[in-house]
Amino acid sequence: MKYFFTAVVAFAIHITSAWAGDLQVQDAWVRHAPPVIKQHAGYFTLHNTGTKPRSLISVSSKSYQHAMLHASKTENGIATMQHLAQVTIPAGGKVMFAPGGLHVMLMQPVSPLQVGDHVPLVLTFANGETLPVMAMVKKDNGGMGHHMHHKHHKSGS
Amino acid sequence: MMRYLISFLVIVFCITARVADAKVNGVELSTPAALPAFALQDQNGKDFTQDNFKGRWTLVLMGYTHCPDVCPFTLSNLEAVIAQTSLRVRPDNVPRVLFLAVDPKRDKPVMRDYIQQFHPDFVAATGDWAQVKTLVEGLDGFVRYVKKQAEDVYEVQHSAAISVIAPDGRIVAKISPPMEPGATAEYLAAMQQKYRRNRKERSQ
């Protein structure tokens, strides 16, 4: 039974993590929404273990017609969204895409998505490198989002 | 016995220390503000007016159903706040959550399905733009439509704060999300106590 759980955990880490060279993506997920809602948000943590800063310039998904890099901001008490041309991940650092902050705005799903479904994302960087990621559709946990203590899986080592 | 007592004290200390640590970004109004008359409809098509605020606590959030990030995040956050508050106050004092949908054109057809996914007791309300605007302004809020990127693809900027409405229908506080659920529940429970105390004093 113990092995079974280990296998499940290993599989879970496997499908929510991706790495290519110096870049790693962890905990990729898309917020579940009822089928009537056609704009979703995707989140992940992007690590750069390299010695140079890297820039994420776009995200695409074959599950959606459009995807954009966005940042939610509250300025003077007003919630706004900003379209970003790129997001830079410092050398040896990480950038968290998390509720209430950076997110991938995913528009017009090709088909309805259920909790537990997997959404393929392709991250494209300024040097042309691409990183495929599987994001799981799940419900928001309602805690504190980017202020919350996220579990950090160590993977890719 | 001593050992149990010490463990108990340690647990109590940890709980209180955690609550004290977490801050609530809230502002209590020095003079609770009355709301103007408005006529909206809830997700089931029933009238929702200023009278629906009477007799119970309500937390009002402005938002729109096509908002991908902040609105669903804040609604999930409110669900956690409500769960924590229900552990601290009497069932009839657990606040109701009202999602004031400020993009009536896109919100009206979908808000029933939308609001249900967060909590069966959450209420969504919208209506004619003039009526929505009346309540938005009554809450000292703000809504702005941002230039369309395409037909039905546009952003709606709106106030982020949650308004706390007391059972007399007046706004007593504003809370800025994100909210730490436990600390916010403590904050709301304390506010309710104060409200009851003030009413008692006034009626004497």
Rg (CA), chain B: 19
pLDDT number for residue A5: 61
For residues A35 and B94, the model is more confident at: B94
Average pLDDT over residues A36-47: 95
Which residue, chain included where needed, has tokens 């705005």? Answer: A105
Mean pLDDT within B130-137? 98
- The residue-averaged pLDDT of B38-42 equals 98
Count of other CB atoms within 10 angstroms of residue B29? 14
Contacts of B25 (CB under 8 A, 6+ apart): B175, B176, B179
The size of chain B, in residues, is 204
Measured CA angle at A16 (ends A10, A17), to 5 deg: 85
Secondary structure of A22-90 as H, E, C letters: CEEEEEEEEECCCCCCCEEEEEEEEEECCCCCEEEEEEECCCEEEEEEEEEEEECCEEEEEECCCEEEC
- If DSSP codes are grouped into helix, strand and coil, which group holds residue A45? strand
Touching check for A73 and chain B: CB below 8 Å?
no
The three-class DSSP label of residue A69 is strand
pLDDT for position A149? 39
Is pLDDT at A24 greater than 80 in this prediction? Answer: yes
pLDDT surpasses 80 at B168? yes
- A150: pLDDT strictly greater than 50: no
Average confidence (pLDDT) over B147-171 = 90
Site from B73, B148, B154, B180 to mutate, A interface, most A CB atoms within 10 angstroms: B73
* Shortest CA distance from B72: residue in chain A: A140
CB-based contact, B181 to chain A, within 8 Å: yes
Beta bridge partners of A77: none
Residues of B in contact with A139 (CB under 8 A): 76, 117
The 10s digit of each residue's pLDDT in A107-128 is 999 999 999 999 999 999 999 9
- Dist CA B53 CA B172 (whole Å): 13
pLDDT higher than 80, residue B63: yes
Whether pLDDT at B156 is above 80: yes
Q: What is the pLDDT of residue A12?
A: 53
| pLDDT given for residue B147 in this prediction | 79
Best CA proximity match to B57, nearest among B197, B201, B189: B189
**Quick one: average pLDDT of B24-37?**
95
Retrieve residue B185's tokens: 């529940």
Higher pLDDT, B118 or B18: B118
Q: How far is B197 from chain A (nearest CA, A)?
A: 31
Going by pLDDT thresholds of 50, 70 and 90, the confidence category of residue B81 is very high
Give the pLDDT mean for A70-87: 94
Answer yes or no: are the C-beta atoms of B98 and B58 closer than 8 Å: yes
Query: Beta partners for B60?
Result: B98, B163
- Which of A29, A32, A36, A70 is the best mutation test for B, with the most CBs of B within 10 A? A36
Alpha-carbon distance A48 to A93, whole Å?
6
SS (H, E, C) B50-76: HHHHCCCCEEEEEECCCCCCHHHHHHH
Whole-angstrom Cα distance, residue A16 to residue A10?
10
Average pLDDT over residues B156-160: 96
| Confidence label for A13 from pLDDT (cuts 50, 70 and 90) | low
pLDDT for A8: 57
DSSP code, position B8: H
- pLDDT score, position A157: 32
Tokens 């304390």, located at residue = B190
Question: Using CB atoms, which residue from A35, A107, A145 is nearest to B73?
Answer: A145
Tokens (6 digits) for B182: 């436990």
Helix axes of B181-203 and B2-21: crossing angle, nearest 10 degrees:
90
Q: Could you give phi then psi for residue A20, rounded to 5 degrees?
A: -145, 110
The continuous run of DSSP H or E covering B139 comes out as: none
pLDDT (0 to 100) of residue B152: 73
Measured distance CA(A42)–CA(A26) in Å, rounded? 12
What average pLDDT is seen over chain A? 85
B63 to chain A: closest CA residue: A79
Which pLDDT score, from 0 to 100, does residue B59 have? Answer: 98
